[in-house]
Chain A
Amino acid sequence: MPLDLIIIAIFLAAASGLPGLFLPRRTVWGQRIAVFMMCGSSIFGLAGVALALGVNQSRTIIFPWPAAGNSIIGIDALSAFFLVPVFLMSGLGSIYGLGYWPQLRHIRNSRKLQLFWGLLTAGMSLLVISRHAMAFLFGWEVMALAAFFLVTTEDQKDEARRAGWIYIIATHIGTLTLFGLFAMWRWATGSYDLKPVVGDAISLCVMNVLFFLSLLGFGLKAGMMPFHFWLPGAHAAAPSHISAMLSGIVLKMGIYGLVRFLSLLPDPPYMWGGLIILLGAVSGLLGVVFAIAQHDLKRLLAYHSVENVGIILMGLGLAMLGRSAGQPKWIVLGLACCLLHTWNHSLFKSLLFLSAGSVVHNVHTRNIDSLGGLAKTMPWTAAMFAIGAVAICGLPPLNGFVSELFVYMGLLGAVITNESLVSVIAVPVLAMIGALALACFVKVFGAVFLGNPRSAATANAHESPISMRIPMIVLAACCVIIGLAPVLLPPVLDGTISGWTIDSNLRALSIGDVAPLKAVSLMSILLVVLIISIAVFMRQNYRVSRCVGTWDCGYSASSSRIQYTASSFAQMIAGMFRWVLRPRTHRPRIEGLFPKPAKMYSHTDDLILDRAIMPAGRGFEKLFGWFRRFQQGITQQYLLYILITVILMMSTMIPFKEFITRLFAR
């Protein structure tokens, strides 16, 4: 039953863009039908998922696929867990699109967007429920290509085209790695079925190769630090609800692949878990450091995805260490962090992108330093952004805190039992990531929503329509619920965690036993009650007696440009991390008693893309420049090449060996 509902949802999603293609461009009905079908798909999908969650018996359907043996799809708790954000966000995002990307205002590309939005959802759901390498790759490619067309929605813009090309190259390197991975899998296990390997059926060497291939292939999609280079550009260039989908959900498919694939391999060596934690720590720290240095609102949010993927990987690494060390407690806490942070990140990152989209929609700029004071004109958006910001910093009483608490407890537990020194580094790094994320989001929230508007467009902004506000409110409500009542989580998480390994003593352990969920729920509620009661007390006893201007030291002619900008706010931290950020600064020379007006700007390039890959690409281009001589577009030349090739091939028929022996035989 759950599987049938999900298959219906997949077909509805895949077909949702089709009616629009047959309707005239200048009608709203195409989009309305698409939204209706996407919402239907969401409802069917979420109903199916609700039935499958927590129940850890996987039901499978086998359907024949002549090219690659019988293909299997099935749903278990892990699949259901990752389907929740997919179906939630696909429905909410399409509703958001009604206000943000209406067909009548975007006649050129609205139909394309709806078509590929549906296909993206369908592709992701298919890959999550497939139990067969080929079906998995099919879903993976549908997702990757649909995402390419979504990134290049505004293909008239140079920026979008460039981001799209970088994205598609990166994603295909990932797909290629996955081809290698599954070919190797087939060779090692003898089938394309994704079933757990028992005992020592595979040698350690082969397991290591499989592990590194999966880390590369899935890590590229998840945006892990050295492989994140395609991500900031692609997520900044796309329309905002698509950025939300890409950052919140599509990245998680990489995480899903990694979690699923690692569950299939038995007896992982210590090195794997340690390496994943280390990569997670690097992603987390550098992700947030690069985020702080950004001036572009959406690029900044995109870098924060790298950071959060780092935290998710730290959880996964801890779970892997737990498997190696035979410590069920670490597995439960680590995997709980990995899974819950996956949910949390899809909730608050989508929320942040949607509220950023609401700002961009009204003000038409993504430059943080030209915004300001929007909390007065857009109160809803500001409140929603504030909830997302507190949640992403991992602060109580919201959901980010709960998942970070899991990983902290697991890592500290690992330190106490003195088994892993990697976790010693991970704890202070995680604390630093938290403090840096806080700095970054205070900067964004302050510069965009607080203070005085820094431009005329910002001053005249108005609140977004209701269709854009509803999805934000739903996502924010989910963040608050998970944060205030983590006691609700064990039924959802336990089934998923116990199904992850075939280890039997894990079944007995519930996340409720190893983490203080009840206490955290109580404390969160207590905190909220305390804040509200102090606020009510203040409201009843005190009145604002006078409203005046901000204290200006007696200098009354100040303008809004005198405010501390986001760049100056981040300057000290950017200075501390100059060794890795390497910002390009253009400083004007100021001379004389009355210097002329001058401009100063700074820009932070991406570490990998702009400092490693692009120069390497140019180097290769130079190195192989001589090759162009053979490629001149003259037909006669190509015929000559063919002739030479034919002669060379025919020359293999000449029995050289015999020839030589006869020559020297005498």
Chain B
Amino acid sequence: MVDKLIHILLLLTMPPLLLGIINKTKAWFAGRNGPPVLQAYYDIIKLMRKGMVISRTTTWVFIAGPIVTLATVLLAGMLMPISRFNAPISFAGDLILFAYLFGLARFFTTAAALDTGSPFEGMGAAREVTFACLSEPALFFTLLVLAKVSGSLTLNNMLHCPAGAFSVAMAAPLVLVSIGLFIVLLAETCRIPVDDPNTHLELTMIHEVMVLDHSGPLFGIILYSASMKLFILGAVLLHIISPFQTKTIWMNWPLFIMEMFGLAIVIGIVESVMARLRMRHIPYLLISALLFCGFGFILLVRYYQ
């Protein structure tokens, strides 16, 4: 029970901190001081106190976008086991609901972007749905590998198992899958090299440009749910790449938090050392993620036979 409460508490409070760490890492690489680590919290609180300015063109869909996104991300966070602790909600087949919840969020985010009638936002929405067509199969290949390794269709067992059943033969497919999943994570959470969360140059953007017309509390919700999505997908990845546990059960919480910080720093490093890819080349990156996951699966099947 306490673990579930900690889970919910972490899910609700920790995500914006990751943004702060990523930005701090980037600033350190650039030789700047950078904004405070808690800047994302200040931003969200400030936005929640502001008024809403919305476009005359919009309808209910525009407001539904952020609201549905927040609800789906919260629910996905409930399905997601953290560290060695079980998820608050778990049932056979929850992995499919987990993946499709993000689909629902995508439907309403992109529809809300089109609702403004702005060409920029249409452009962002088109890119978002197009790239999802490649990252979605990659995500499902990952889930396929995890299901095969663990022999289960429950996220709890699937994600805890790589730790338990870690053998050298499993390592190769899991390494390939985690590379693929890392690329999917960068694409889904709109980081460099797929998208640049800093610039507002509309012609090159995906996520930032879709939410150009959202302001005040709606934009605060968007920022918050985007960071939560990063937290959730990061937690999935951590299960695969770092299946370490300590003997003292409660110590796993601080361990997980440290690991999460580590992941945020890695993302920050990736963002610092790479440039954003040209828009034409992003599908190639995503196809490579798909191939990584696919090859991981083939290796796994060969091992079993």
Chain A: interface secondary structure? Answer: helix
Q: Assuming the A-B contacts A450-B114, A538-B67, A543-B51, are A435 and B136 also in contact, with contact meaning beta carbons closer than 8 angstroms in the complex? A: yes
- B140 close to A431 (CB less than 8 A): yes
Min CB distance B151 to A, Å, is: 5
Classify the interface of chain B: helix, strand, loop or mixed: helix
Task: Give the contacting residue for A438; candidates B57, B71, B119, B129; CB below 8 A.
Answer: B129
Interface size class of A (residues with CB under 8 A): 35 or more
Chain A residues with Cβ under 8 A from B122's Cβ? 446, 451, 563-564, 568-569
Whether A523 pairs with B75 at a CB distance below 8 angstroms is yes
A412-B147, A543-B51 given as contacts; is B111 within 8 A of A531 (CB)?
no
The distance from the CB of B220 to the nearest CB of chain A, in whole angstroms, is 10
Whether the Cβ atoms of A547 and B115 lie closer than 8 Å is no
A395 CA to B305 CA in the complex, in Å? 35
In the complex, which of the residues A373, A429, A434, A542 contacts B117, with contact meaning CB atoms closer than 8 Å? Answer: A373
Q: How far is the CA of A526 from the CA of B53 in the complex (A)?
A: 30
**Any A CB within 8 A of the CB of B61:** yes
By beta carbon, the residue of chain B nearest A411 is B144
**Do the beta carbons of A546 and B297 come within 8 Å of each other?**
no
Q: Which residues of A contact B138 (CB under 8 A)?
A: 428
Q: Which of B197-236 contact A (CB under 8 A)?
A: 202, 212-213, 216-217
Q: Are B137 and A429 in contact (CB under 8 A)?
A: yes
Q: Whole-angstrom distance from the CB of B291 to the nearest CB of chain A?
A: 11
- The answer to the question of B123 belonging to the interface, with a C-beta cut-off of 8 Å to chain A, is yes
Q: Which residues of A contact B103 (CB under 8 A)?
A: 393-395, 434-435, 438
Q: Are A451 and B147 in contact (CB under 8 A)?
A: no
Choice from B125, B148, B290 contacting A569 with Cβ under 8 Å: B125
Q: Is the CB of B136 within 8 A of A523?
A: no
Given A431-B136, A439-B132, A573-B130, A446:B125 Cβ within 8 A: yes
A373–B138 Cα gap in the complex (Å)? Answer: 35
Complex Cα–Cα for A544 and B215 (A): 10
Let me know if A634 is at the binding interface, CB within 8 A: no
Query: With contacts A435-B132, A442-B111, A452-B117 known, what are 15 further pairs, Cβ within 8 A?
Result: A396-B100, A418-B148, A439-B133, A450-B114, A451-B115, A530-B71, A530-B75, A531-B67, A534-B67, A542-B217, A543-B52, A550-B56, A572-B130, A573-B129, A576-B283
Subset of 30 A-B contacts with CB under 8 Å: A373-B57, A395-B103, A401-B100, A409-B96, A412-B143, A412-B153, A434-B103, A435-B133, A438-B106, A438-B132, A439-B129, A442-B111, A446-B111, A450-B61, A450-B115, A450-B117, A451-B116, A519-B91, A520-B97, A527-B72, A531-B71, A542-B217, A545-B51, A547-B53, A549-B56, A551-B116, A563-B119, A564-B122, A568-B126, A569-B125
Binding site for B on A (CB under 8 A): 372-373, 375-376, 379, 382, 386, 389-390, 393-396, 401, 404-405, 408-409, 412-413, 415-416, 418, 421, 424, 427-432, 434-436, 438-439, 441-443, 445-447, 450-452, 515-516, 519-520, 523, 526-527, 530-531, 534-535, 538, 541-553, 560, 562-564, 568-573, 576
Q: Which residues of B contact A (CB under 8 A)?
A: 51-61, 63-64, 67-68, 70-72, 74-75, 89, 91-94, 96-97, 99-101, 103-104, 106-107, 110-111, 114-123, 125-127, 129-130, 132-133, 136-141, 143-144, 147-148, 151-153, 202, 212-213, 216-217, 283, 290, 294, 297, 301, 304-305
